[in-house]
Amino acid sequence: MLHDLSGKTILVTGASKGIGAATARAMIDAGATVIAHYGGDRAGAEDALGDARPGQAHLIQADFSDMAEVERFWAEAFAIAGRIDVLVNNAGIMRQSGGIADPAEEWDRVWQEAMAVNVHAPARLMRLAVRSWLDAGAPGSIIGIGSWVTTRGSSNPGAIAYAASKAAIAAATKTVARNHAADGILAYVIAPGVVRTRMSEESAARTGGEAAVTATLPMGEWVPPEEIADLAVYLAHGRARHLTGSTIDINGAAYIR
């Protein structure tokens, strides 16, 4: 196996579908112990962990709009494994309303939800993870699943809160990288383009349809979630130390910086 993660415990949030499900599967295939978070879709998370050996995977439910739930989730995960080696901050939401043209009440609701789930929850998990690594004097890694909207904005007007929230958590992740590199703590942001997920399909429906979105892509295809999962496995290994702090674009040349 190219990247053997045997002996590592990986915490993957939002493991029910899309990038999170693919990442949980890839981590299991690489031999890691996986603790997978889900919000409401337990069946999807169970499917993602279907190939795990007995005792290799664990499921924990939590509502990431509630910080008490986030704290409880971390405590349960830590109690299961005794340590977390890698935190994959993947869970996130993108509502299809809440743009400038929508009513103020909808704007406020969507922004509050986006900031809670996409910023406060992953930031809280980063804080807990980093503190655990500092207390133990042990290395650890954070892999944030971001988006290209953090630097280019979104073509979906309803996704303005999503874009802002992804930019905020990306900056927080980079701040961890800068301040804790000497402690052996690594932090990366993976910034996908258009990925074959339900979230992207819903967004495409509001921006001209799937065919119109695909026509803008140099490869003429959406990024498979498995490619992002494979990159996450590589980063989880811990050998890409000098990539810490990096934002890694994966968009098929659709956005080149």
Any idea which residues carry the catalytic annotation? 162
Query: What span, in angstroms and rounded, lies between the C-alpha atoms of 166 and 94?
Result: 10
CA dihedral defined by 188, 194, 196, 200, rounded to 10 degrees?
Answer: 100
Angstrom distances, CA of residue 103 to CA of 86, 106, 108, 250: 40, 5, 9, 35
Q: What is the DSSP letter of 53?
A: P
Asked if residues 252 and 219 have their Cβ atoms less than 8 Å apart, the reply is yes
End-to-end CA distance of the chain: 33
Q: What 3-state class would DSSP assign to 124?
A: helix
Whether the CB-CB separation of 221 and 128 falls below 8 Å is answered with no
Residue type (1 letter), 12: V
Question: Are the C-beta atoms of 141 and 86 separated by less than 8 Å?
Answer: yes
3-class SS shares of the chain: helix, strand, coil, % to 5:
50, 15, 35
Residue 60 in 3-state DSSP?
strand
Helix 225-236 with 18-29: angle, nearest 10 deg: 50
